[in-house]
Amino acid sequence: MSTVSQRCNAFLMGSDQAGRDAVRQLEAIGRNDERLHTYNRSPLLNRPGLLQAADVATLEQDLATLLEVLTSLPDRLFDGRTAAMCERVGINGPARQAVLDTVDEFSVLLARADVVWSVHGPKAIEFNIHSSLGGMDIGPLNETFLKLPVYGDFLRAESLRYHDPLDSILAEILQAATDRGMTGTPTVALVDWPTSYPIYEQVLERVCALMRARGIDAIHTHVGRLEERNGYLWYGKVRIDVLYRIFMLEDIPEQPDLITPIIDVHRAGNVLLAMSFFAELVGNKASLALLSEPTNPDFLTAEERATVDRILPQTRLLRHGRATWDGEWCDVTDVAIARKNELIMKPAIGHGTLGVIPGWAVTEKEWRQALGDADGDMFVLQERVAAAPEQIPTLDDDEWRTCDYDVNWGVFIHQRRYAGAMLRALPSSRPGVISLGAGGAVGCCFHQDAPSDGDE
């Protein structure tokens, strides 16, 4: 039976000139609609990602379990000793202190898994647990597809809908604010770091505009402009109720004193952190490695271990010493050398693709050099997940053809439920990491609420 994606392709390409016009309109909107420029004018994928009801159920179950286990790692592996886990995953100095200072703040939990759909099912190659989540403003692209001819016709005919991640994010923040006893509409400040704020200022303004359209009093600034007065956090004459953190834990060592007002006001109980620095302790790649490596006795239940093995590719800390790989004890560095084309190396703490080296895309010499350079730093080694290609309709001299794309599905999880997705896609012919920096296209996602007859 055809999948909903195949039916969409057939519908678009079978619409002849109307389908061609719809693709060209999408391209023009991508150039001209400021709401879609969050991704630095990255091209738009010619159709949305489409999930069947069974796909959504699988993602919800497996990713919710993975998130629950990750957030409980300090208790399961370190008897609640947060400092010990910081040391294990390479969080030291001022960054570690920030984690310890906010370890009690977990009222807002925002997460997005980066999922690659292989022939064996979905695999979570990363799990981002922090508030600076790319894709939270994808909703306008969903709206665009619904308004366009042909696209909108198909989506309505198939009863496909979408979740806007920003709705779930704001619902989480407002509930936490209410639980704190805040009355009225809280002022939410999206706060970046001084060095990166000029780069993302326009992006943050677009996100704030989306929040304001939902009735939220949203502003944006950088941490260097904040100050503590009378136990509260201020930006000029504006008192901040909720600090929505855009800057990352890795930024803090650059100027540790900049976060002092935030920590002081947090201790006074007068600001809601969305999210705390503790989140990045459990949401980094080294934590995935700790979760992936089975121990004896195992710290997971049999059901949890089955879920982890199913959804998470093998991930190990890159260090000298023995660990398991494919169920056999070995030296991790020996595995790294022997299986170059099957592995990817990633910094344990960091964002985007900075420092990420896919073994299959570099020479033997470059790979060995990277392994040597990583000695002493915290890196992880992860098995390669080959994406099952998505066929996307494209126009070539006004003629239809399909192009195979490898897709990274940025899947939001909120309250154990699927909360929308943002896609990054790269033609399968290009080796390397699926990212916008590599010239990838941006996509949104629609899903079925229940399987149709054709999908049973």
Average pLDDT over residues 441-456: 74
Judged against a pLDDT cut of 50, whether residue 455 lies above it is answered with no
Tokens found for residue 362: 């570099």
Domains of the chain: 314-383 (3.30.1490)
pLDDT given for residue 35 in this prediction: 84
pTM of the model as a whole = 0.93
For residue 192, name the pLDDT band (cuts at 50, 70, 90). Answer: very high
Judged against a pLDDT cut of 50, whether residue 456 lies above it is answered with no
Judged against a pLDDT cut of 70, whether residue 234 lies above it is answered with yes
pLDDT given for residue 38 in this prediction: 63
Q: What distances in angstroms separate CA 254 from CA 228, 335, 378, one per listed residue? A: 20, 35, 19
- What's the start-to-end Cα distance of the chain, in Å? 9
Judged against a pLDDT cut of 90, whether residue 39 lies above it is answered with no
Tokens 């309709």 -> residue: 393
Q: Are 412 and 122 in contact (CB under 8 A)?
A: no
pLDDT given for residue 295 in this prediction: 83
Higher-pLDDT residue of 325 and 351 is 325
pLDDT given for residue 454 in this prediction: 47
From 280, 261, 270, 166, select the one nearest 222 (Cα to Cα): 261
pLDDT given for residue 1 in this prediction: 36
Average pLDDT over residues 213-233: 97
pLDDT in tens, 266-293: 999 999 999 999 999 999 999 999 999 9
What is the pLDDT of the chain when averaged over all its residues? 92
